[in-house]
Amino acid sequence: MKQFFKDNSLLIFILCVGVAMRFYHFADWSLSNDELSALSRLQFENLSSVIENGVRLDDMHPMGVQVFLWFWTKLFGITPFVVRLPFVILGCLSLVLFYLIAREWIGVNRALLALGIFACSQFPILYSQLARPYSPGLFFSLLFVLAWTKIVFQDKSESASFTKWNIFLVMGGVGAMYSHYFSFLFVGIVGLAGFFFINENKKRLFYLISGALMFLLYIPNFNVFLTHFSVGGLGGDGGWLGPPGRYAIIEFLFYSFNNDWILVAYLMAIVFTALSLNKFQLDKKKIFFLSIILGLLPVLIAYFYSLFKNPVFQYSILIFGYPLILIGIASLIDFRNTKYSKLVVVFTTLLFFYSSTFSMKYYSTEQFAVFKDLVADVREYTQKYGENNIEYTANVIKPYYFNYYFVDDALKSKFVQYRCNDNSTYQELDSILQSSTKKYFLHAWSNNYHAPELEFRIRKYFPYLIKQDIHFNSGIYLFSKEMSDGNNILNVIFEEKNDFEKNYWNLDDKLFKLSDDAMSGSRVSIVDSSLEYGATYTNSLQQIRLAKNKSLVVELKVKSEQLPAFDKFMLVVEVDSPDGKIKVWRSLQFQPFIKKENQWTSLYYGYKYVENILPEDIVKIYVYNPGKYKAEIDDMIIRVLD
């Protein structure tokens, strides 16, 4: 035993570091939206209902992980520690499988180097800590590749029988097929590649039998597969995912190395150094091309499928082929000298550890929208201001995501709204605000569209923002009717108001008129049957301080003599390049909000710009009236939020 530890001390060191990095802090941070979604879809009386309603009709993954969670949580509960524990364990076991594969493909020294990168990179660490299909999919994919390696490249003497490796091949393949559709794709690609290397007829026969067994064992999930495949992806009508950008694959590869230029430069340097020392002769040329092709094929398929069929391209689904990419890179790094190679392995492991832990601050950086932290804020604000004094609202995909952290807390019954991300729910929010007699108004959101203008809708009735806690794609506000409660927190970096009492924008006088019923003063802006476009605000983005990742909010009052039809009366906000080309065009339909003729209605538009807009670009804001309605506009306010 002592000799084993002595001979494998470096391997044990890297494995210990990798295991520690996966277990550290794993149950402390908030369950993600996807994890809470999985738990919410376990709330059925029996397993068949979970599969039908919680997988086939309300998910885009095979049934394997959801079925496992149903049994696991029935036995051990649903605390974050219990829910995530098996996924962390599988993530740790993947380290061992990865090393065994790499050792077979590229030898011990280069395998240790690849393992050091795999063990300490935040990409595999993150998806080992999530209670989602990525850790099981990765584990079973690696088990499949290990068995595939033994079968395809094993000695001829063992080739004419159905060995233990055929059993492991079936286990790995079926596990991957039941975990995630992209781990299914990955083992399918690797499995098909095996036919190019197997020449013996008997070996090919047993290989085919192994594949047939996988598909037989997959029959229970076939109906789920057909339903999900008919949807095709996460974009399109009703979807939330957009197509990948031009450089998405390069960005993924950069992400897989911690988004750290130092790591990329270091790897390029040691690859170049090793190749130079070996006079650019590759002793593992076939392994390099095989691993890179098998590792990158799922990435390319995801990319082009997303462009031409339906968006699915996300970094998480690309983790299954990622280990082979690392093996391909490590195959280029052969320093021949064992002592020197070990020094490179140790330094590389420590460098990646430092990058993940300290440079990129993995353990203190929020990777997903939070729920746990917001519930803690709700309790804190309630304790300070009193639950009977606060109106509670939230914007989440399902109430369960919030209520999970309230457990038996009576506070969850206090929420009067759980979704606020479209016109109908904005109107519901307006009704709650109008009728509320409470002193305070709480609004929290997580992983659901949070309109930038909501803050100003709420301020109409609760003018003072006294508490806020903003997280990654989530946050919480507490508003008050009274200024005495503390500072009025503002994040407005530009504001311009126009009550149309003067022609501030130097526009044609026919766009304005005197009115006895103006919202403020005596003049309003107008549109009618002869005016398709109302008064237009024009300015450069530099002047209003609008830039990428900042929000533009427009507030205005509208009174129409007729109830407008959809797409016939709207506010338009466009950003144009200096040569007049439209870069971003967005609109706010008036039809859902104007409910009575000849009555002033407050309207709000907001958008956070994620596009690459430039300081010299021009913003134009105007009322578009293709329905030729007769209406008055007053009190337009334009704000930019940081």
Torsion from C-alpha of 158, 164, 166, 168, nearest 10 degrees: -140
- If asked whether residues 354 and 400 sit together in one domain, one would say no
* Residue 119 confidence (pLDDT): 98
- What b/e readout covers 130-139, taking b as 16+ CB neighbours within 10 angstroms? bbbbbbbbbb
- The verdict on residue 10 lying in a domain is no
Mean pLDDT confidence for 463-470: 90
Using only C-alpha atoms, what is the Rg of the chain? Answer: 30
Final residue of a structural domain among 490, 520, 555: 490
32 domain-assigned: no
* H-assigned helices in 180-247: 181-194, 201-217, 222-231
List the beta bridge partners of residue 444: 394, 476
Residue 28 lies in a domain: no
Neighbours of 587 (CB within 10 A): 13
Is residue 241 scored above 70 in pLDDT? yes
Q: Is the pLDDT of residue 310 over 90?
A: no
Question: Residue 283 is which amino acid?
Answer: D
Are residues 146 and 258 located together in one domain of the fold? yes
- Give the pLDDT of residue 557: 93
* Tokens linked to 96: 């061992």
Distances (CA, A) of 514 to 476, 487, 632: 42, 39, 10
Asked if residue 568 and residue 449 are part of one domain, the reply reads no
pLDDT at 578 > cutoff 80: yes
The rounded distance, in Å, linking the Cα atoms of 97 and 110 is 15
- Same structural domain, 355 and 410: no
For 146, the enclosing helix (H) or strand (E) is helix 134-152
Q: Is the domain of 510 the same as that of 615? A: yes
Same structural domain, 382 and 523: no
449 & 336 share domain: no
Does 289 lie in the same domain as 311? yes
Provide, rounded to the nearest whole percent, the portion of the chain with pLDDT above 90. 71
State the residue for tokens 């696991």.
72
Does residue 434 share a domain with residue 314? no
Indicate whether 324 belongs to any domain.
yes
Cα 292 to chain centroid distance, Å, stands at: 26
Query: Are 333 and 480 part of one and the same domain?
Result: no
Q: Are 573 and 621 in contact (CB under 8 A)?
A: yes
Does residue 281 sit in the same domain as residue 387?
A: no
Q: How far apart are CA 397 and CA 235, in angstroms?
A: 17
- CA–CA separation, 295 vs 189, rounded Å? 10
Q: What angle do CA 541, 544, 547 make, to 5 degrees?
A: 50
How high does pLDDT run on average in the chain?
91
**Could you give the CA distance from residue 477 to residue 440 in angstroms, rounded to a whole number?**
10
Distances in Å between the Cα of 597 and the Cα atoms of 558, 591, 631, 632 are 10, 12, 10, 11
Cβ–Cβ < 8 Å for 331, 281: no
How confident is residue 202, by pLDDT bands cut at 50, 70 and 90? confident
Is 119 domain-assigned?
yes
Identity of residue 419: R
C-beta atoms surrounding 58 within 10 Å: 12
Residue 24 reports pLDDT greater than 60: yes
- Predicted pLDDT at 389: 95
The number of residues making up the chain comes to: 642
Among candidate residues 444, 396, 401, 443, the one with its CA nearest the CA of residue 421: 396
114/2 Cα distance (integer angstroms): 25
Distances (CA, A) of 309 to 218, 245, 317: 25, 15, 17
Positive or negative, the CA dihedral 261, 266, 267, 271 is: positive
- Span 224-251, average pLDDT: 82
> What digits encode the pLDDT tens for the residues 524-565?
998 898 888 988 999 999 999 999 989 898 999 999 999 998
Q: What is the DSSP letter of 241?
A: P
Rounded CA-CA distance 445/397 in Å is 9
The verdict on residue 83 lying in a domain is yes
The reply to whether 562 and 444 lie within a common domain is no
Range of the domain at 88: 43-231+244-364
Distance CA 443, CA 585 (A): 29
DSSP type of residue 531: B
Does residue 590 lie in a domain region?
yes
What is the Cα–Cα distance from 200 to 194, expressed in whole angstroms?
A: 12
User: Which residues are CB-neighbours of 180 under 8 A, at least 6 positions away?
Assistant: 61, 62, 133, 134, 136, 137, 317, 320
For residue 27, being part of any structural domain is answered with: no
pLDDT at residue 159 greater than cutoff 70: no
DSSP letter string over 31-58?
Answer: PPHHHHHHHHTT-SSSHHHHHIIIIITT
Show the tokens assigned to 20: 């520690």
Type and span of the H or E element at 260: none
Question: What is the token pair recorded at 34?
Answer: 């996807």
Position 471, amino acid: H
pLDDT, mean of residues 312-330? 96
Cβ(355)–Cβ(258) below 8 Å: yes
pLDDT at 349: 97
Give me the pLDDT at residue 43, please.
Answer: 92
Residue 234 has pLDDT above 90, yes or no: no
Position 398 scores a pLDDT of: 94
Domain final residue pick, 434, 459, 490: 490
Question: What's the structural domain count of the chain?
Answer: 3
At residue 160, the pLDDT reads: 65
pLDDT at residue 567 in the model? 87
Write down the pLDDT at residue 487. 62
Q: What is the CATH number of the domain that holds 508?
A: 2.60.120.260
Look at residue 520 in the predicted model and tell me its pLDDT.
85
Q: At what angle do helices 9-23 and 122-129 cross, to 10 degrees?
A: 50
Mean pLDDT of 240-261: 92
Question: Distance between CA 188 and CA 321 in Å, rounded?
Answer: 12
Domain end, chosen from 464, 490, 516, is at 490
Strand partners, 533: 624
Q: What angle, rounded to 10 degrees, do the helices at 261-277 and 338-354 form?
A: 170
